[in-house]
Amino acid sequence: MDELKVFTLKKGVNENNKKVANATRDELINQGVFLINIMSSPGSGKTTTLVSTIKKLKDEVKIGVLEADIDSDVDARTVQEAGAKAIQLHTGGMCHLDATMTKQGIDELGVEELDLVFLENIGNLICPVGYDTGAMKNIAILSVPEGDDKPLKYPDIFCKVDVLIVNKVDVMEHFDFNMDVLEERVRKLNKDIMIFKVSAKTGEGIDEWTNWIKKELNKGE
């Protein structure tokens, strides 16, 4: 296994965020690289979902991952072992990534030979959604144990993402979770959102999710 690179990010400059995000997006498009920003609360299964996604796509798509955490390199090593090129980003206490920090990570990762890059953002439902990272698509993951009331408590993230992945559907019978109620609440906030119901552990629904990614990649081509 290749040696894992750990990179400590410098603080972003918020007032220039949109300019940097647009420039990063244009640069990635010119390179033929598709960037997906994944946001969720801690424990939703972001990394497990990424691992399932990588294993499903790695024979067809060259994948890189930017793993953002306050500390540790556990998640980066996990996705690297699954078959993706990975770099660990340490934010030094910052609760989100902005466009400048994302660009630093992309430069350190090196995307010249990649088709698809996932940015696994810092785990919370509030801070990350306020910053354009330069991604082409923004994804939220909500796990069944978190409850179907999260769109009521944290509406901003559900308003702004392109896709919602509802993870851990394999344990839904053990929780007070109503999928129909969740979908109704989410679509009131965002009528165009795509919703995928998956279990990253069992593989249920992963085909539908990865097929959507492949379609988006083909649009870019």
For residue 151, what pLDDT band results from cuts at 50, 70 and 90?
very high
User: Domains, the chain, ranges and CATH?
Assistant: 5-207 (3.40.50.300)
Q: Rounded to two decimals, what is the model's pTM?
A: 0.91
3 or 33: whose pLDDT is higher? 33
> 168-215, pLDDT tens digit by residue?
999 999 999 999 999 999 999 999 999 999 999 999 999 999 999 999
Q: Decide: residue 180, CB within 10 A, 0-12 exposed, 13-18 middle, 19+ buried.
A: exposed
For residues 57 and 140, the answer to whether their CB atoms sit within 8 Å is: no
**What average pLDDT score do residues 34-40 get?**
97
d(CA 44, CA 140): 10
**What average pLDDT score do residues 148-153 get?**
97
Give the distance, in angstroms, between the CA of residue 127 and the centroid of all CA atoms in the same chain: 14
117 or 91: whose pLDDT is higher? 117
Coil, helix or strand at residue 130: helix
Q: Give DSSP secondary structure letters for 160-216.
A: H-SEEEEE-GGGGGGS---HHHHHHHHHHH-TT-EEEE--TTT-TTHHHHHHHHHHH
d(CA 73, CA 23): 28
